[in-house]
């Protein structure tokens, strides 16, 4: 499905129709460039666009299949970029992923987007409002898309910071909570974010080192800014992963302490029952020669002995913190 298609010249959108084949021909004729955006296209649609723009078949195959690792590859005068998109679903405390494949040539940009998140229409509108950035040509479009995707990374990471803070508060609270399942889920979400963020560092490094022909030299500072944002996201992800590991260890320690407290209380309670039972057992043996059996106060004495011993044990356990 083709979402949008436009011809750009001198940093402005040229209103000359939306037929992308005609726009491609006009771009060749007057020196502008075409940006065509596709969302969840069929293989036939992608191959049709690839034939007109002369895209490499291996890159086209990756764009059709999706589920690729973030990367940057060069094919003659065209570069092919894969980006993982992320967005946070607050209702489920989950991170969802999508993908954007970009073909960037000297006079065209083709974006193939998979998934529901990170729409590029607003990025296109923001870029069209900045004539200076759009004047950099396809390199400016590449920057705008990268900047939008990495900004979404930071938004997702900020949401995960809140989740990790909640986990830490829960683990160290006095309430008995079962945090192990949520910690495991958050670890998996962080792993998903890491798979999107970390592999993108090398492509951005190449974009800032003037190794890519479609990126003009004056545009490299913008890509360095995106690389800085990406580094911040990566550092935060590593920090959150370490905090979650520490929180899980603390949770296990808390569970162990709680179990020890429970065992002490159970042991103290058992002692309060066992000692009177022992006394009752002694006087329940019914031997013939037991001095207290013929004593008028033998029965009250036995009961009083049980109560005094139990009360003494209760006071001792209370002072020691077992009860």
Q: What angle do CA 76, 135, 201 make, to 5 degrees?
A: 55
Band (pLDDT 50/70/90 cuts) for residue 68 is confident
Beta carbons of 85 and 151 less than 8 angstroms apart? no
The pTM assigned to this predicted structure is 0.77
Is pLDDT of 235 > 90?
A: yes
Taking residues 257-286, report their average pLDDT.
72
Beta carbons of 3 and 39 less than 8 angstroms apart? yes
Beta carbons of 38 and 113 less than 8 angstroms apart? yes
Model pLDDT, residue 237: 92
Looking at per-residue pLDDT, the higher value among 156 and 211 belongs to 156
Residue 56 φ/ψ, nearest 5 degrees: -70, 135
Looking at per-residue pLDDT, the higher value among 156 and 173 belongs to 156
Model pLDDT, residue 309: 74
Distance of CA 204 to the CA centre of its chain: 21
Alpha helices in the chain (DSSP H): 20-30, 43-53, 57-65, 121-128, 131-134, 138-171, 180-197, 201-208, 220-283, 298-320
Is pLDDT of 112 > 80?
A: yes
Counting Cα atoms < 13 Å in the Cβ hemisphere of 243 gives 19
Looking at the chain, the whole-number percentage of residues with pLDDT higher than 70 is: 87
Model pLDDT, residue 136: 82
Query: What is residue 283's three-state secondary structure?
Result: helix
């Amino acid at each position: 499905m083709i979402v949008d298609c436009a011809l750009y010249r001198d940093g402005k959108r040229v209103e000359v129709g939306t037929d992308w084949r005609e726009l491609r021909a006009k771009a060749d004729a007057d020196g502008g460039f075409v940006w065509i955006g596709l969302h969840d296209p069929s293989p036939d649609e992608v191959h049709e666009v690839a034939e007109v723009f002369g895209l490499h078949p291996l890159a086209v195959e990756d764009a059709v299949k999706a589920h690729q690792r973030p990367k940057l590859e060069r094919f003659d005068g065209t570069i092919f970029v894969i980006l993982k998109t992320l967005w946070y679903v607050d209702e489920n405390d989950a991170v969802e992923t999508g993908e954007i494949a970009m073909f960037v040539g000297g006079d065209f940009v083709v974006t193939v987007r998979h998934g529901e998140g990170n729409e590029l229409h607003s990025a296109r509108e923001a870029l069209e409002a900045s004539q200076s950035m759009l004047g950099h040509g396809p390199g400016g479009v590449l920057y705008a898309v990268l900047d939008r995707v990495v900004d979404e990374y930071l938004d997702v990471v900020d949401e995960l910071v809140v989740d990790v803070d909640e986990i830490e508060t829960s683990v160290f609270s006095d309430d008995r909570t079962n945090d192990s399942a949520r910690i495991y889920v958050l670890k998996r979400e962080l792993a998903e974010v890491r798979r999107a963020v970390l592999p993108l560092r090398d492509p951005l490094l190449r974009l800032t080192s003037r190794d890519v022909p479609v990126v003009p030299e004056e545009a490299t500072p913008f890509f360095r800014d995106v690389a800085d944002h990406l580094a911040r996201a990566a550092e935060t992800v590593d920090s959150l992963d370490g905090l979650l590991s520490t929180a899980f260890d603390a949770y296990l320690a808390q569970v162990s302490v709680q179990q020890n407290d429970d065992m002490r209380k159970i042991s103290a309670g058992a002692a309060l029952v066992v000692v009177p039972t022992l006394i009752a057992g002694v006087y329940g043996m019914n031997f013939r020669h037991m001095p207290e059996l013929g004593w008028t106060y033998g029965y009250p004495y036995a009961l009083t002995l049980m109560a005094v011993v139990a009360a003494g044990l209760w006071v001792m356990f209370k002072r020691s913190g077992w009860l």
